[in-house]
Structures are given as structure tokens and as C-alpha cells.
Amino acid sequence: MSDQELAIKIRGLKKTYQGEGASQPKVALKGVDLSIPKGSIFGLLGPNGAGKSTTINIIAGVVDKTEGSVEVWGFDTIKDTRNAKANIGIVPQEVHIDAYFTPFEILELYAGYYGIPKAERRSDEILKAMRLEDQRDAYTRLLSGGMKRRLLLGKAMVHNPPILVLDEPTAGVDVELRQHIWQYVRELNKKGVTIVLTTHYLEEAEELCDEIAIINNGELVICEKTSTLLKRLDEKMVIIHPASSIKSLPQSISDIGGKLNEDGEIVIHFSPSTITVGEILKKIAATEIEISDLRTEESDLEDIFLQLTKSRKE
């Protein structure tokens, strides 16, 4: 992929936080390379302390890198800071908003910081999109936690950036609000906005992201298309509900990994590359166990995430 096709380009990114007093320096990033395509929804995942927020903060320009380079929309964040920041909007994990300003005043203030003429500002449009039009002139100290988080998202959009970075944007919000935020994010992406997302909700990353990178202990573990990543685990599960209860499994079923769960169902974990569901059902039929119902389940992103991060710890 050429540099012109990249929204964000990171090469050899390292960060070491110097220890204070007797504490030792902490290495947060150990040479991360990332290529984030324009127009994509890109997921950046990892356990707590993995280096996700450090990466985001370096991209945002609020943390100094130790080594490496970061380009935002083709602009180096050190050599051309102004243009780099003009092309990105950051929604931080922590909620920091001036308590004595109204939502409208905050959006107008930040639009002014970016030099947007009053005639071109979209403050009321953004407040409506964030469902904050009724709180337009209320002090932000009176807003709920969910409202403040929506205001953060709106604040990041005042200068209409082509890249939007969301650091745990739905943490602590209810299901309805989460769905609204993601609907708005999808709409932005359809308009061409590149979305970079960090989240602990793996099901959201699985559903939303075109590509996912996993960071652990300051290192890039993997970066692949979501569809490719989900194929990484060659494992499925078939759950069979017998027509009548059984107390133990025939040896032929135990030999292929069959077990009885608490509900009396037969659970078999299998690899499709070694045995098919049809072959499993033939073995069940040979035991004269009558099947009342069955279902299959595939490995999901959480299984892959746990496997990859666990392997790096061992």
C-alpha cells in the first residue's frame, strides 16, 4: 500500500517513560509499525497497559515519542505539527470538559481554535447529531456522564477532520447510547472519514472494524483484516441436545472430544480441517443417540485475542 493511501503511518515507534526517584524506566512501546488505510475503520486492541493509549497520545501529540516516526494524512507529527493536528480529531478516554461552559460555547471555542469562520461552523448541527440540542445552553457540569462523552465526540468533529480517533468512546455508557454512537460513526465512515478505535468491547471491534491490530506488552502482536483474523482459529463447536437424557457418553464420542455439560447436552469442540459436522453426526447416529436439536458455534474475536495475548506472556 502506497503512502498516499494511508491515513496514519507509524514506523519504529518506541516510548520509554523515565522513572521518578528510585523507580525504574518503563518501556511502553518497543518499535511498533502500523499502516492505517484511508477510509477504513481500524481497531487497535490490547489488554490494559499494552501500549494502546500511549500510541494514541503520541498520534495526538500530547506524549513525546522516544524513537520512530508518525505521519497523519501525510504530515509528520513533529516536522509539520500544525497540519497533522488539523487532519485528526481525538476523542480521549478521560472526560475533561470545562464545567462553566455550555456545550454550544465549547464547540464554538474549539472551532475558533482551528480558525473556522463563524459562517462555516457546525455547532448546532453537531449538537443535534449527538442528541444534545436540548442541552445546548446548559452548563456542562450539569450533564450526565453519557452526555459529556457525546460532547467529547462532537468536539473532535468541529473542524471536520478526515481522521477520527476514538479511545474507548463507549466506556460506561448504556446500550442505547452505545448503539447511537456507533450508528453515527458508521455514517461518518460512509462519508469517507477514517476511524481509529480502541475498545474493550471485542464484539464491537468484530462487528465494526475492517482491520484489527493487537498490541501486547508494547509490541504489535498481529495486524490483519478482520475476516482473516477470524479464520485464524480453526475451531468450531457443535452442541447436541439428546431427545432423552443420558448419563455418560459412548467411548466413540469421547474420542472425538465429546463432553456432557450441565444441561445434559453433548458439546464437541472440533477442527473443520480434520473432521466435518457430517462425520460427527454419523458417529452420533452409530451410537443410537437420538438428536432432538443441535447448533454450531464458531470461535470469535475474543478467543483469538485471548490466545494471542496469552502466548506472548508465556
What is the residue-level pLDDT of the chain in tens, covering all 314 positions? 788 899 999 999 999 998 777 788 999 999 999 999 999 999 998 888 889 989 999 999 999 999 999 999 999 999 999 999 999 999 887 778 888 999 999 999 999 999 999 999 999 999 998 889 999 999 999 998 888 888 999 999 999 999 999 988 777 677 777 888 888 889 999 999 999 998 877 778 888 999 999 998 899 998 999 888 877 666 788 999 999 988 899 999 999 989 999 889 999 988 877 888 889 999 999 998 999 999 887 666 666 777 677 655 54
What is the DSSP-derived secondary structure letter of residue 115? T
Q: What is the pLDDT of residue 301?
A: 67
In a domain, 306, yes or no: no
**How far apart, in Å, are the Cα atoms of 239 and each of 201, 253, 272, 292?**
26, 13, 15, 11
Shared domain check, 172 and 47: yes
Q: CA nearest 33: which of 4, 81, 69?
A: 69
CB 233 within 8 A of CB 46: no
Q: How far apart are CA 108 and CA 75, in angstroms?
A: 26
Question: Residue 258: which domain range?
Answer: 236-298
**169 shares a domain with 194:** yes
Residue 98's pLDDT is 85
CATH code, domain carrying 184: 3.40.50.300
Alpha-carbon span 171 to 9, nearest angstrom: 27
Q: Is residue 131 part of a domain?
A: yes
Domain-embedded: residue 308? no
Residue 5 pLDDT: 94
Q: pLDDT tens, 214-226? A: 998 899 998 999 8
Q: Are residues 254 and 201 in the same domain?
A: no
Residue 273: count of CB within 10 angstroms of its CB: 8
Q: What is the pLDDT of residue 182?
A: 85
Instruction: Tell me how many degrees the CA angle 125-169-85 measures, rounded to the nearest 5.
Output: 70
Element (H, E) at 238: strand 236-242
**How many domains is the chain partitioned into structurally?**
2
For 243-270, how does the pLDDT look when each residue is reduced to its tens digit (9 = 90+)?
998 889 999 999 998 999 988 999 998 8
299 phi, psi to nearest 5 deg: -65, 145
pLDDT of amino acid 168: 82
